[in-house]
Chain A
Amino acid sequence: MQIASMHFKARAGGKLADVKLQAALRKLQGNFVKGRAERMLELDNFEEIRSAAAAIRDRTLANLDTYLQTFERNATSRGAVVHWAETIDDVNRIVCELAGIYGVTKVIKSKSMVSEECALNDALEGAGVQVVETDLGEYILQLAKEPPSHIIAPVIHKGREEIADLFAEKHHLPRQSDPALLTREAREQLRGHFLSADMGISGANFVVAETGSTVIVTNEGNGRMVTTLPRVHVAITGIEKVVATREDLTTLLRLLPRSATGQTISNYVSVTTGPAQAGEAGPQHFHIILLDGGRSKLLGTDMQPMLRCIRCGACMNHCPVYQSVGGHAYGWVYPGPMGSILTSTLGGMENALDLPQASTLCNQCGVVCPVKIPLPELMRKLRERQFVKGLRPWSERAGLRLWRYAAERPVLYARLTRLAARLLKLMGGNARLIHRLPFASGWTGGRDMPAPAGKTFRELYARRAKPEFAATGARG
């Protein structure tokens, strides 16, 4: 998928003014945020499990090559074919070649964010293969020709009336807008595709080195159909998704559905190993594609903790910026805090200059991350890197240099802040609100800034601290 993250500011403005989107985003907080909090209370030892989950991810990342080769060996010994893709173009080439080899005319897909990275549907359609997305949200987006705006709830930005219009137009059936009826309509439209497709393409939430298995976690059941009904199954995932054992998988499964959708467990966890066995109905051919796509560049750097990510979406659900602008503003596959880091590292820092800045560093994301990724810290490091590389605008760099000059001279700094505090108080007038600030019109464009009281912290502290010090001075 083409990166459009450079348009973040312009897009964010539009999203804030979008009444329907704002209503949709409020529901996210109610369901996912509240649901997660309730499910976590079920685990008395949540922090212990969370630490274990982070350690499980770190274990395979520390010996990633050995675990990947173990996975490859075990998957191959059970009849799967493992492919390695350095780039997203390699993924598209491999899938199109497989479609050619097996004479595939129709592909059914379950939700895969890695395939969104690759823009795989475009590649397959270009090769003359029909592609049908089967996750309800992704199916709606395919009809609407839109990208997902959330990694778990891809169509969170659309309301039922919009979906009703879309279905009426595309299905040529009487319009209905009840979610249950719309779901039934999609089910009936898709059932025929499930039974007639030649190839099923899925992602993988995890791959298990011990058994050579791929794992998908779904609620709708379309993932099971995609991996069961067609004669060819292709699973596509990132090289970082490997876990060592079934027990490690189990620990992660205690956290993934709770963090993602506020469920104790998702309806279907499917662990797939090799093609159909003798006499069994199921895919005759099973191919697994492991994508690097820039992930190996994060290893051994301060960004390595990002590779622990299990794609639950909790960071975006809890992010005040995501909650305000939604996923499309971020301009690539992955939105929210994890997306800001992945877009910057996998997609190129210069393409996503605004994303690490689109955070208040409030650390809600860091607190809820089930694998303890220090997301605010990583965003702060990306900001630092942008500055060092001279990628920030000249005004910002000049401002920071000025600030540094003053901050290194305490007397000057005290005088300047005293002056500024008094000036700002004056500007605030009787209402004590500032309507316009020079050099900060972006901030005051949408709201007033409360005026300071007129004294700096250091002035107040100097006045009040002395008697306190005198009283406690004896203790040193």
Chain B
Amino acid sequence: MNSRDAILSRIRAAQGRAGAPSAPETAAVATYIAAHPSGPRPPSDWDPLQRLRERALSLTTTLDEVADLAAVPAAVARYLRNNQLPLNAVCWAELAALDWTSAGLQIEARETHGNDLVGITGAFCAIAETGTLMLLSGADTPGATSLLPETHIAVLPRSRIVRGMEDAWALQRAECGADAMPRAVNFISGPSRTADIEQTLVLGAHGPYRVHLVIIAA
């Protein structure tokens, strides 16, 4: 008997069942998964944008709000200059067409190879309950852009703010397909951190030191 069958038959023996899983057993599991009910959620009597703002700030994510997509380069340039950060960056393909040059920025739409100091991404959505960004990896949305640079800037339309993680999954099912999953779903809640040394909080353990969120109103 191979390891797989040995483990599975040990499990069944321990549960007092013999042979392969019966039709009712597999049906019960399939039914539960198909229904995927949500569990109890904490009360959410707050305004999503307001809540996202509060939670993000408490995670030391900084925020900016602009009127439309065309205003993003100027907002990014302002943030980088105010924080004395480099004015060149890599970005996701979807942001390549913005007029970065007029804002005085040098932005390349490509994957990062580890030396870039600023990475600019979009986001699938943001979760107000926890101040979290949800990013889906793909050919045009590489995960490393939000991870390797010291500064991560995310651009998000206000309409993409959901209340809880359940709503984020529902949106992902609706837009990508019930069974579709990207290679990586990354939930990001503020800059990288560690408290491994004497329980002292330090930002920028391996990932970004700074996360900045630009919300587009329209």
B192 touches A247 (CB 8 A): no
* Residues of chain B lying within 8 A (CB to CB) of residue A85: 3
Interface centre among B26, B181, B182 (most CB of A within 10 A): B181
B151, chain A: closest CB distance, angstroms: 13
Enumerate B97-138 residues with CB–CB distance to A below 8 Å: 111, 113-114, 130, 132, 137-138
Q: How far, in angstroms, from A56 to B111 measured CA to CA in the complex?
A: 39
Contact with B along A124-145 (1 / 0, CB 8 A): 0000000000111100100000
Q: Roughly how many angstroms separate A271 CA and B183 CA in the complex, as a whole number?
A: 8
State which of B11, B33, B198 has its C-beta within 8 Å of the C-beta of A64.
B11
A396 at the interface (CB under 8 A from B): no
Q: When the two chains form the complex, which single residue of B36, B186, B197 contacts A268, counting CB atoms closer than 8 Å?
A: B186
Q: Which residues of B contact A227 (CB under 8 A)?
A: 184
The reply to whether B204 and A140 form a contact with Cβ atoms under 8 Å apart is no
**Residues in A neighbouring B188, C-beta threshold 8 A:** 267-268
Complex interface: stretch among B62-70, B72-80, B162-170? B162-170
Known contacts A221-B207, A248-B39: does B143 contact A282 (CB below 8 Å)? yes
A24 partner residues in chain B, CB cutoff 8 A? 198
Tell which of B14, B21, B36, B199 touches A247, judged by Cβ atoms closer than 8 Å: B36
Point out the residues of chain B lying under 8 angstroms from A270, CB to CB: 184-187
Q: Quick check: is A348 within 8 A (CB to CB) of the other chain? A: no
Q: Determine the distance from Cα of A358 to Cα of B7 in the docked complex, in whole angstroms.
A: 32
| Nearest-neighbor residue (CB-CB) of B40 within chain A | A48
- A413 proximity list for chain B (CB < 8 A): none
Closest residue of chain A to B111 (Cβ to Cβ) is A281
| A-contact bits for B183-218, CB 8 A (1 contact / 0 none) | 111111111111111111010111110000000000
**A3 interface residue (CB < 8 Å to B):** no
Which residue of A45, A68, A78, A86 contacts B40 across the interface (Cβ within 8 Å)?
A: A45
The residue that A210 contacts in the complex, of B3, B33, B40, B187, with Cβ under 8 A, is B33
Residues of B within 8 A of A299 (CB): 11, 14-15
A residues 181-226 touching B (CB-CB < 8 Å): 182-184, 187, 190-191, 194-195, 209-213, 219-222, 224-225
Contacts of B36 in A (CB 8 A): 210, 244-248
- With a CB–CB cut-off of 8 A, which chain B residues contact A420? none
**Within 8 Å of chain B (Cβ to Cβ): is A266?**
yes
Q: Does A450 contact B (CB under 8 A)?
A: no
The answer to whether A221 and B205 touch (CB under 8 A), given A43-B42, A282-B143, is yes
Residues of A within 8 A of B7 (CB): 84, 86, 239, 290, 292, 296
B174 adjacent to chain A (CB < 8 Å)? no
* Nearest opposing residue in chain B for A72, CB measure: B4
A119 contacts B by Cβ under 8 Å = no
- For A246, give the chain B residue with the smallest CB separation: B169
A250 touches B165 (CB 8 A): yes
The answer to whether the Cβ of A156 comes within 8 Å of any Cβ in the partner chain is yes
Contact with B along A219-240 (1 / 0, CB 8 A): 1111011011100000000010
Chain A neighbourhood of B12, CB < 8 A? 65
Judge whether A277 and B139 touch: CB under 8 Å.
yes
From A66, A156, A195, B199 is in contact (CB under 8 Å) with A156
A220/B193 in contact, CB under 8 A: yes
Residue B196 contacts which of A62, A136, A190 (CB distance < 8 angstroms)?
Answer: A136
Is B32's CB under 8 angstroms from A59's CB?
A: yes
Verify B184–A247 contact, CB threshold 8 A.
no
Say yes or no: is A31 at the interface (Cβ < 8 Å to chain B): yes
Give me 17 A-to-B residue pairs in the complex whose CB atoms sit less than 8 angstroms apart, sorted by A's number: A68-B8, A68-B11, A134-B206, A137-B196, A156-B199, A180-B202, A194-B114, A219-B193, A220-B192, A229-B144, A245-B32, A253-B165, A265-B132, A265-B187, A296-B7, A296-B10, A296-B11
A24-B198, A27-B198, A27-B199 known, 4 other contacts, Cβ within 8 Å: A264-B130, A269-B186, A281-B111, A282-B142
A-B pairs, top 10 by smallest CB distance, nearest first, are A221-B207, A279-B139, A251-B39, A220-B205, A299-B14, A137-B196, A300-B14, A221-B192, A273-B181, A269-B187
